Amino acid sequence: MPELPEVANLARQMDRELRGRRVAEVEVVQPKCLNVPPEQFGRLLVHTQGNHVTSRGKWIFMDLEPGATLLLNLGMGGEAFFHREGESLPGNRQLAVLFEDGCAFSQHFWWFGYVHAVKTADLASHAMTSSLGLDPLDDGEFTVGTFEKLLEEKKRSAIKTVLMDQKNIAGIGNVYIQDILFAAGLHPLRKAADVTVSERRVLSDVIRSQLRNALQLGGLAYEKDLYNQPGCFKDFLVGYREGKPCPVCGTVVQKIRTGSTASFICPHCQT
Ligand SMILES: [Zn+2]
């Protein structure tokens, strides 16, 4: 499942590639991905022009002039590809935006995803994105202060649950959480209230550095970018390394159940 690094990488590539292109037509193969009927979806987007593309957590926001926003969420996984004029579109696409210059942007979801269109003036009332939490790569928003406040509010919850709730922090899922908790020396089931002040500082630094590093590498090696190329991030510390030695102390990495998710931990380093 794509998380912040993959989604932010995709948004940057879309910003570079789609800006200035004018929408000629929208081809809807799977209307269930939409928030409105296909005709209304088309009316909102056709003849608009791509402006900046940004992301928050697992959502991509494509601003279109004048006054529309396309929202994309790849859900459990999928691809969003750019196609130059004359290139054929993937046969399994659920949706494609066709531009006047012959280029196209297609989406395919493995399980289920969302392509929503709203008037930009109504963006704040789009329920699925308006409730998203802090952006960990926004230094003005994700600070020691806001992070401490969050942990204080959620002090009775397990730290893993707090960090993965998209309403608290947007963009961390069950992939990147593994090495974040390891690098911070925290057991996933530790109560937020029991994370000390110095551990909180380390944790907030680790969240930023792990996600930034993965973003620089273009995201995970098993996810595809806008050009159908895989990311370069594949060297986990403990994530998905069950039975292998901990890179710090050599203790065997364990896979444990934590609520509804699996966790990979070093039982010696993470307490
Ligand atoms: Zn260890």
Whether residues 29 and 115 fall in one domain: yes
| Nearby residues of 66 by Cβ (< 8 Å), 6 or more positions away | 48
CA of 214 to the centre of ligand 1 (A): 22
What per-residue confidence (pLDDT) applies to 85?
A: 97
What is the C-alpha to C-alpha distance for residues 56 and 223, in angstroms, rounded to an integer? Answer: 18
Residue 137 in domain = no
Whether residues 125 and 181 fall in one domain: no
Residue 69 in domain = yes
CA of 152 to the centre of ligand 1 (A): 28
What per-residue confidence (pLDDT) applies to 115?
A: 97
Nearest to 60 by CA among 43, 40, 41, 80: 80
What is the C-alpha to C-alpha distance for residues 205 and 213, in angstroms, rounded to an integer? Answer: 12
What per-residue confidence (pLDDT) applies to 1?
A: 86
- How many residues can be counted in the chain? 271
CA of 13 to the centre of ligand 1 (A): 37
| pTM (whole model) above 0.85 | yes
CA of 185 to the centre of ligand 1 (A): 9
Whether residues 173 and 224 fall in one domain: yes
Nearest to 17 by CA among 50, 44, 58: 50
CA of 182 to the centre of ligand 1 (A): 8
Whether residues 81 and 187 fall in one domain: no
Whether residues 149 and 172 fall in one domain: yes
Domain count of the chain? Answer: 2
Residue 139 in domain = no
Residue 135 in domain = no
Whether residues 103 and 156 fall in one domain: no
Whether residues 125 and 221 fall in one domain: no
Residue 68 in domain = yes
CA of 133 to the centre of ligand 1 (A): 31
Q: Which domain holds residue 238?
A: 144-265
Whether residues 116 and 50 fall in one domain: yes
Q: Residue 25 is encoded by which pair of tokens?
A: 């037509």
Residue 243 in domain = yes
CA of 155 to the centre of ligand 1 (A): 26
Roughly what angle, to the nearest 10 degrees, separates helices 197-216 and 176-183? 140
Strands (E), 37-159: 49-56, 59-65, 68-73, 78-83, 95-99, 104-109, 114-119
CATH number at residue 236: 1.10.8.50
CATH number at residue 39: 3.20.190.10
CA of 168 to the centre of ligand 1 (A): 28
Domain boundary among 130, 160, 192: 130
CA of 116 to the centre of ligand 1 (A): 44
What per-residue confidence (pLDDT) applies to 44?
A: 98
Whether residues 149 and 259 fall in one domain: yes
What is the C-alpha to C-alpha distance for residues 172 and 217, in angstroms, rounded to an integer? Answer: 17
Domain boundary among 103, 130, 157: 130
Which DSSP symbol is given to 3?
-
What per-residue confidence (pLDDT) applies to 248?
A: 98
Whether residues 161 and 251 fall in one domain: yes
Whether residues 111 and 203 fall in one domain: no
pLDDT < 70 positions in the chain: none
Whether residues 18 and 116 fall in one domain: yes
Residue 18 in domain = yes
